[in-house]
Amino acid sequence: MGKAIFGKGGEKKVELVNTAWEGIIPALMTHKFDIIMSGMTLLQSRNLKVNFCEPYYYIGQCLLIQKKDKDKYKSYKDLNKKGVVVTSKLGTTGSFTAERLMPKAEYRFFKTEAEAALQVANGIADAFVYDEPQVRVNAAKYKETTVGLFEPLTYEPLAWAIRKGDPDFLNFLNNFLKQMRGDGRWDQIQKKWFVDYIEEMAKKQ
């Protein structure tokens, strides 16, 4: 998330504002910053409070499990039972998905994605439910102890969120996305953060 500052000649600077996820929409609405760009899923419930740009990426919730359990847990259905511990980040679609698809399991939700994934890597929890790109990152980061199950559990468009009542800003952002997709910049960003970064994480382990 960031605060856009428009200067002469169309130059743009961004001020990053660290914000707890559970309070991110209220912070946007009270003008703590101008836009949420941090992997927010476009949900109808959220759309009642904020306006979303056109989606920039499509994901699904996926599973990270302990490597020793790869023959035991083939899908979320195998995790939907008493005695199974499922983690995710508090207030995210990962936590909503866990509650909806695995109601019999025990949930442990954390303030950060890193804390939730580490529970599986350290053998404390059975599964971590989260966005597919981050599950891939964690599967690479903890490849000695975990594996990812990448069949998507949900269909989720990711989009930037802004306050309601500013159609000009919404129009600018949508046209900016179209330009980036058309001139190749989006492909470069996607390769850097969704391909090269995961490969780099895997090499470090």
* Residue bearing tokens 């499922």: 86
Q: What does the pLDDT read at residue 9?
A: 52
HEC string of 29-65 equals HCCCCCEECCCCECCHHHHCCCEECCCCEEECEEEEE
Span 155-159, mean pLDDT?
A: 94
Asked whether the predicted pLDDT for residue 73 surpasses 50, the reply is yes
**Higher per-residue pLDDT: 181 or 194:** 181
- End-to-end Cα, the chain, rounded Å: 30
CA distance 136 to 143: 10
Closest residue by Cα to residue 52 from 169, 152, 155: 169
Per-residue pLDDT tens digits for 128-137: 999 998 999 9
Q: What share of the chain is helix, strand, coil (3-state, %, to 5)?
A: 45, 25, 35
User: What SS3 state is found at 128?
Assistant: strand
Asked whether the predicted pLDDT for residue 1 surpasses 90, the reply is no
Percent of all residues in the chain with a pLDDT value above 90, rounded to a whole number:
79
Residue ranges, CATH 3.40.190.10, the chain: 2-56+159-204, 59-149
Beta bridge partners, 109, equal 88
Asked whether the predicted pLDDT for residue 177 surpasses 60, the reply is yes
Fold of 2-56+159-204: D-Maltodextrin-Binding Protein; domain 2 (3.40.190)
Asked whether the predicted pLDDT for residue 6 surpasses 70, the reply is no
Beta bridge partners, 157, equal 58
| Main-chain phi, psi angles of 114, to 5 degrees | -60, -40
Span 177-205, mean pLDDT?
A: 84
CATH class given for the domain over 59-149: alpha beta
CB 49 within 8 Å of CB 133: no
